Amino acid sequence: MAGRLEDIRQRWTPDGSMAVIASLTIHRPHLGPARAQMLDEQPMPLRALGAIAELLLTYQGEEVSIEGSLRRRYYSRDGEQHWGQVEIWVDACHPVKIESHQER
């Protein structure tokens, strides 16, 4: 997926290693006249560990392409497990060059 990397937050795992939580804001297609007022951007939650987490910190606010896998995160409430959200666990991140109108 490709989009703008935003809202990067550092976290520390129980073993003391660094993790990053962020959003990848992607463009989504227009859904026709009935939804013309809807936003055409969608934030996708990201999570990364180790060297990839450190790399993401350097790309705050930039257009990037990421590779990873979808993982569902759970949480517990009153001793019962509940479904949380689906996140993209990042395996690779690369900057994306945006062409200006003059370069075309």
Domain 2-95: CATH architecture, name and number where available = Beta Barrel (2.40)
Q: Which residue has the higher pLDDT, 79 or 61?
A: 61
List the domain boundaries for the chain.
2-95
For residues 19 and 11, what is the distance between their CA atoms, to the nearest angstrom? Answer: 5
pLDDT tens for each residue of 73-102:
777 778 777 777 889 999 999 999 866 545
Encode pLDDT of 4-39 as tens digits: 999 999 988 888 888 999 999 998 776 666 666 666
Distance, in Å, from the CA atom of 48 to the CA atom of 55, rounded to the nearest integer, reads 9
- Residue 97 confidence (pLDDT): 81
Q: Which spans in the chain are helix H? A: 50-57
What is the Cα Rg of the chain in Å? 16
**pLDDT band, residue 103 (cuts 50/70/90):** very low
Report the 10 Å Cβ neighbour count for 89.
15
pLDDT at 42: 86
What's the pTM value of the predicted model, to 2 decimals?
0.74
